[in-house]
Structure 1
Amino acid sequence: MLVVFSLTTGEFVVAGILPEVAGALLVPVSAAGQLVTAYALGMIVGGPVVTVATARLPRRAVLLGLVAVAVLANLGSALAPGYSVLLATRFAAGLVVATFFAVAVTTAVALAPAGKAASTIAQIALGMNLGLILGTPLGTWIGQQLGWRATFAVVAACALAALGAVLLFVTELPSATAGSALRELRVLGDRRVLLAIALTALGNVGVLMVFTYITPLLTEVAGFAAAAAPVLLLVYGAGAVVGNQLGGRAADRALLPALTGLLTCLSAALAIFGIVDGNHWLAVLLVFVLGVLAFAIIPGMQARVITAAAAAPTLAVAINASGFQLAAALAGRSGGWIIGAGPGPRALPLIGAAVTLAAAGLAGLMLYRDSRSPRVGAATRP
């Protein structure tokens, strides 16, 4: 949980310190937003590549190596002399994240007492929620008070503490697979897996556009002072905790119907957020609602990918994380263009709403395809 907290904070805190990074490195805010894209690209590349490359290694050694890379990469970000080096270190930090999530889940389940697998996974997932609700606002505040380099230094320190915890408490376990690691890549040829990854990517692009540039949106569009950003990120994180629980329960009952409905609601919330102009109370409410809906869709998306790729569970979790980061990369890139060279920040939530509505259509199509295939439909219902 501590490792996941560190990695999640390192990923999302950039959204809170974009103005500080841009000002210190003398680059536009849209360019600073590409740091999110670089981290996401690292996860996209690292997810399948690092997972396959380390599949035959002992899991404790893999976990220690992955966390060590995260420590060094975040420390490198804190010490980066310029924008290009900072981009490179964010890419390096992202390389290990998807594989860590995948190996951590399978390792925790293997170490858990009988009947405690689900609660153990929930404890790991709590680290992501805490990274949003505590780590990101705290890191934003540190960046505003002590400079953005201090934010990455604190993330590196948290990851270092987590490295010690892994060293002390994770016992030695054999590799995740005894056969050829390349066999797991065959899962990528399954159409259901590809559709599930596409849904994860498309369904998160719109809300990640808004989250990546939420600080300038709140200050330039909604009219908040910059000092309010950490508090509003805390509100978003509180919504994320609620949404994670609600989304999991909804997906347990009816996976694809729940995803279709939640994505439709998320599209509507983004559209309303796009027309907020100076109404602070409504903006705060919408920030909370966006946090709820953005994380309510994640459990169902992960469950869909794991179900579709049952023959390669470790790689499936990594692929799901890569799909999410593909969305983050597209969000950072396209959102930066919309703000810098396109129609401007006011259009960002409206465009995000349109993309999310398209994802709801894809979820509806997958639901229709499953209804036409009773065997598949039954398999996707937990």
Structure 2
Amino acid sequence: MTETQAAETLPSRGAERDGFPWSALLALAAAGFLAIFTETVPAGLLPQLSTGLGISEPAAGQLVTLYALGSVAAAIPLVAATRSMSRKKVLLTAVLGLAVLNTVTTVAPWYELILVARFAAGAAAALIWGVLAGYARRLVEPGLQGRALTVTGIGQPIALACGVPLGALAGSVVDWRWVFAALSVAAAFLALWIASAVPDVPGQPPANRIASPRVVLLPGIRPILLVALSWVLGHNILYTYAAPLLAPTGLRLDIGLAVFGVAAFLGITATGVVIDRALRATVLGVLALMAVASAGLTHPALGAVLIGVVVAVWGFSFGGAPALLQTALADRAGEHTDVAQSVFVTVFNLAVGGGGLLGGAILATSAPATALAWTALALSALAALAVGLCRKAFPPGRRGNPGEDEGP
């Protein structure tokens, strides 16, 4: 999409066009926060869910699994079915869907009904992720699209860092059902925020649509999805099994995850400064940091302090990953961004689930926990190699001006 075409998609409100639309983008960021927080909060409530529903803790953990499955199953068909609709209506429908489905979880008397609600909530979250990137980019001029997407993405690391511990804290104070009731109320208030602060943008005209398989065949799309799969898979192998990985280092798990969360927030903040000026260089740089961090985690004898630094490097390197990957993908997909993002959501969630499966398979072989870090190191190297070889997917220079010298 040319800059002229992109500018034509901007909403007509002059205030949004002339300035950076912080309120609108932060509302989009809050939608991403809500989607992730809703997904992860049951992990902090496992004992309460187990007792309250009369089930085992592994069975309670399936509330997270069903949510992820709903996202994987629904992302592509839901985004495809709604691509001609107003983006604001789609986003509001998804957010209100989370409000309703969290209410169902709050009042449902049966575990099986809660599982159905969680699957449907995952589908609503997939719709949120499917429209966020394209929506954010269409609220600003082309030269600010990477920054806009980075602001929209700040909700993700915050939710990842806070979801489990805040769920555990809330569950120690009130019944778990009140936690989901609070999420319903938060979703309702978020819908009001979106309705008042986010300009509407139109959907895609039917004449301009292409099918999802054809979007994947566009130049540069497949290499970006490969990088996403490798990078997110490596990260989730480490994140899912942080407990056995950190145990021999002397670094407490809660402190390690807190360090990761703070560093991830700093990482996405730093990404917002450079993403539009040096996307390719930034991706290569943070993948190098990810590899360094993975290598550090193969040496638990470094001790708690140095491993804490390593975890901070890991968090910093991954914090901006979704924004970087989604920006690269949207640049290549152009007007088909929403469909491309639905494929990205599917790949991302498969990588999240794959991290748990592959990491578990590695540990099941009686391999030491450091084998997880070696695997993440290999996957980081694969992602960096793909970036290095695919200049079409990650062109050098300033976004929209490939071939210029890279640099902040």
Structure 2 counterpart of 1:289: 313
RMSD: 4.0
User: Which has the higher relative contact order, 1 or 2, with Cα contacts under 8 A spaced 6 or more apart?
Assistant: 1
Q: CA separation in 2, counterparts of 1:365 and 1:116?
A: 26
User: Which position in structure 1 is the counterpart of 2:327?
Assistant: 303
Secondary structure at the counterpart of residue 309 of structure 1: helix
**What is the one-letter code of the residue matched to 2:204?**
T
Give the stretch that moved more between structures: 115-124 or 198-207: 115-124
User: CA separation in 2, counterparts of 1:20 and 1:77?
Assistant: 14
Give the residue type in structure 1 aligned to 2:321: I
> Which segments of 5 or more consecutive residues in structure 1 lack a partner in the other structure?
none
Seen in structure 2, the aligned counterparts of structure 1 residues 321 and 117 have a Cα distance that, compared at 3 Å, is same
Identity among equivalent positions (%) equals 26
- AA in 2 matched with 1:265: L
Structure 1 residues 35 and 184: CA distance shift in structure 2, 3 A: same
Q: 1:258 to 1:4 in 2, by over 3 A?
A: closer
Whose helix proportion is higher, 1 or 2?
A: 1
Aligned match of 1:10 in 2, 15, 38? 38
Aligned-pair CA distance for 1:328: 0.9
Alignment of 1:337-348 (within 5 A): 337-339=361-363, 343=367, 345-348=369-372
Among candidates 176, 198, 203, match of residue 203 of structure 2: 176
8 Å Cα contact 1:5/1:135 also seen in 2 = no
Q: Cα distance 1:66–1:335, how it changes in 2: closer, same or farther (>3 A)? A: same
Give, in angstroms, the shift of residue 281 of structure 1: 2.1
The match for 2:68 among 26, 40, 49 is: 40
Partner of 2:303: 279
Residues 1:109 and 1:138: Cα distance change in structure 2 (over 3 Å): same
2:294 counterpart of 1:270: yes
1:71–1:177 CA distance, 2 compared to 1 (3 A): same
Q: How does 1:29-178 map to 2 (within 5 A)?
A: 36-77=64-105, 88-107=116-135, 121-143=149-171, 146=174, 151-170=179-198, 173=200, 175-178=202-205
Task: Tell me whether 288-297 or 343-352 shows the greater mean CA deviation.
Answer: 343-352
Q: Secondary structure at the match of 2:131?
A: helix
**Structure 1 residue 106: Cα displacement:** 4.3
> What amino acid does structure 2 have at the position aligned with 1:243?
G
Other-structure match for 2:383: 359
The residue identity in structure 1 corresponding to 2:293 is: A
Matched, 1:333 2:361: no
* Partners of 1:67 and 1:22 in 2: CA distance: 27
Does the CA contact (< 8 Å) of 1:263 and 1:356 recur in 2?
A: yes
Q: 1:9-55: per-residue Cα shift (whole Å, max 9, x none)? A: 22344565667768984255xx8766555433333332221111111
- Structure 1 residue 200 displacement after superposition: 1.0
- Aligned pair count reads 372
Q: Deviations over 1:287-342 (max 9, x none)?
A: 32221011233333222211221131222333333332221121122233344566
Larger Rg: 2
How far apart are 1:210 and its partner, in Å?
1.8
Structure 2 residue runs of 5 or longer lacking an equivalent are: 1-26
Aligned counterpart, 1:234: 258
